[in-house]
C-alpha cells in the first residue's frame, strides 16, 4: 500500500518535477476539466488505455551485474541517421488547447534536445512555420482525406517545407468513441455551462489560450471558405472529411508521390507490418493510438515481439502508447523496437510549463532511461534484447 501522505508535486516549479507524473499533476492544476479530459481520455470503457500501462507492469527486468557498464550510450541510428536518443515526439493535435503556440513550443524543445518532432495534420501551426525552427528534425503525420487532391496538396507542401518523413495514421478512419470527452460539450465544440464556469478557476489558462483565441488548424485553412475557418468549424470539418474507405492502395499512392521516408502508424499485427513493407513503407509505428480509438485493442507490447521477429531489419520499427517512464522505453527497445514515440509525456510538460516543461519531460525520460540501462547492466541501446526481460502473469 502507498505510504500515507504521499503525493506527486503539482506546484509551478519545474525543477521540483522529478517524474512525468509530477508534470502530469502540474498540468492538471493548470488546465480546466474539459481540456484535462481531452488530454487524458480514452475510448469507451478505457480498457486499452489501462492495458497500455498494465503491459509494462507485467514485464520484469533480468539484470546482469558486474558488467562494468559505466555511463550507458543512449544514441542510436534511425533510418540511417544518427540520433542522440531513441525517442520521437509523437503527433498530437489541438495542442493550442494546452498552451498558446503549443506546437511551436514542442518543436523548439525537440530541436534543442536533439529528438524528432512529428507534426500532426491537425496541428494549429502550418508545416511551413515549424519547418523554420532551427535544427529541427521534422516529420509530418498525415490523416488521409476523402479529397485526394487536397491530400496530395498537403503532401506536396510538407515535401516543399523539408519534412524528412511522412507518417500515415491508419487507425482513425472512423473516429474513436471517447465518451467522457463528448460529455464535456453541449454540441459540437461548445463546452457545457459547467465547463465554462470551470474556466474561471483557471485564469492562467484562460489568459494564455482563451483570451488570445484558439487558432484554427493551419494546415487545413486553405481548403475552407473564409467564413468557416474557426477552430470549432475546422475541427468538425476535419472529422467529416477523413477517408472512411482507407485501404493499402492509399499507402501505395502515397509511396508514389512522397519522395522521403514513409512510415505507417497503427500497426498491431505481423501480417499488417508485412503488408506495410510490401507497400513500400520504410517504417511502421506499432500503436493503438494511445487507447483512444478501438477499445479492446492489444497493447503494442503484446504484439511487438512477433512483429520484430518477422520484420526486424526490413523496416524501422517504432512503438508508442502508454510510455511514461524510462523503464518503459528500455522495455520497448528490448522487445524489438528501434525507437519509441511518446505523446502524453511531453504534453504534460507543455501544459505544466510551456517549452521549459517539454524540455523537463525529455530530460526526465533521458535520465530515467540512462539509469535503467546502467542498473540493467547494459552499455548501449544496440545491446538491448529480450534476454533482459521476463514476462510475468498479471
Q: Do residues 337 and 12 make contact, with C-beta atoms less than 8 angstroms apart?
A: no
DSSP E strand boundaries for 65-180: 76-78, 81-83, 87-89, 116-119, 137-142, 165-169
Distance of CA 280 to the CA centre of its chain: 23
Long-range contacts of 187-195 (CB under 8 A, 24+ apart): 188/232, 188/236, 189/231, 189/232, 189/235, 189/236, 190/232, 191/34, 192/34, 195/32, 195/33, 195/34
76 bridge partner residues: 83
For the chain, the residue count is: 394
Determine the Cα–Cα distance for residues 322 and 59; give it in Å rounded to an integer. Answer: 14
Distance of CA 386 to the CA centre of its chain: 24
CA nearest 352: which of 36, 51, 3? 36
| 202 tagged catalytic | no
Of 28, 202, 250, 289, the active-site residue reads 289
Catalytic residue set: 289
Amino acid at each position: 500500500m502507498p505510504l500515507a501522505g504521499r503525493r506527486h508535486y503539482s506546484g509551478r516549479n519545474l525543477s521540483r518535477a522529478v517524474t512525468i507524473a509530477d508534470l502530469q499533476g502540474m498540468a492538471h492544476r493548470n488546465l480546466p476539466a474539459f481540456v484535462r479530459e481531452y488530454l487524458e481520455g480514452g475510448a469507451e470503457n478505457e480498457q486499452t488505455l489501462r492495458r497500455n500501462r498494465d503491459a509494462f507492469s507485467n514485464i520484469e527486468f533480468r539484470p546482469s551485474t558486474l558488467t562494468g557498464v559505466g555511463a550507458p550510450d543512449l544514441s542510436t541510428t534511425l533510418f540511417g541517421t544518427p540520433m542522440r536518443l531513441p525517442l520521437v515526439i509523437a503527433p498530437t493535435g489541438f495542442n493550442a488547447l494546452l498552451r498558446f503556440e503549443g506546437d511551436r513550443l514542442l518543436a523548439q524543445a525537440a530541436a534543442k534536445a536533439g529528438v524528432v518532432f512529428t507534426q500532426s495534420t491537425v496541428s494549429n501551426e502550418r508545416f511551413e512555420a515549424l519547418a523554420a525552427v532551427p535544427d529541427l528534425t521534422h516529420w509530418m503525420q498525415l490523416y488521409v482525406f476523402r479529397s485526394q487532391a487536397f491530400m496530395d496538396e498537403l503532401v506536396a507542401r510538407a515535401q516543399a517545407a523539408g519534412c524528412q518523413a511522412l507518417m500515415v495514421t491508419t487507425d482513425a478512419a472512423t473516429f474513436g468513441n471517447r465518451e467522457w470527452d463528448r460529455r464535456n460539450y453541449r454540441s459540437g465544440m461548445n463546452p457545457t455551462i459547467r465547463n465554462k464556469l470551470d474556466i474561471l478557476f483557471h485564469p492562467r489558462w484562460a489568459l494564455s489560450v482563451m483570451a488570445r483565441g484558439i487558432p484554427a488548424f493551419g494546415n487545413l485553412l486553405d481548403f475552407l471558405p473564409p467564413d468557416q475557418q474557426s477552430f470549432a468549424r475546422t475541427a468538425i470539418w476535419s472529422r467529416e472529411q477523413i477517408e472512411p474507405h482507407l485501404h493499402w492502395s492509399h499507402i501505395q499512392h502515397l509511396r508514389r508521390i512522397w519522395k522521403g521516408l514513409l512510415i505507417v502508424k497503427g500497426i498491431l499485427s505481423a501480417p499488417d507490418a508485412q503488408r506495410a513493407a510490401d507497400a513500400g513503407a520504410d517504417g511502421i509505428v506499432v500503436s493503438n493510438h494511445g487507447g483512444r480509438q478501438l477499445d479492446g485493442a492489444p497493447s503494442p507490447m503484446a504484439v511487438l515481439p512477433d512483429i520484430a521477429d518477422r520484420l526486424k531489419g526490413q523496416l524501422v520499427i517504432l512503438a508508442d502508447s502508454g510510455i511514461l517512464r524510462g523503464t518503459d522505453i528500455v522495455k520497448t527497445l528490448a522487445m524489438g523496437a528501434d525507437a519509441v514515440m511518446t505523446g502524453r509525456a511531453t504534453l504534460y510538460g507543455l501544459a505544466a510549463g510551456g517549452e521549459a516543461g517539454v524540455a523537463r519531460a525529455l530530460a526526465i525520460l533521458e535520465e530515467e532511461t540512462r539509469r535503467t540501462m546502467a542498473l540493467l547492466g547494459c552499455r548501449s541501446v544496440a545491446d538491448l534484447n529480450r534476454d533482459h526481460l521476463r514476462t510475468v502473469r498479471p
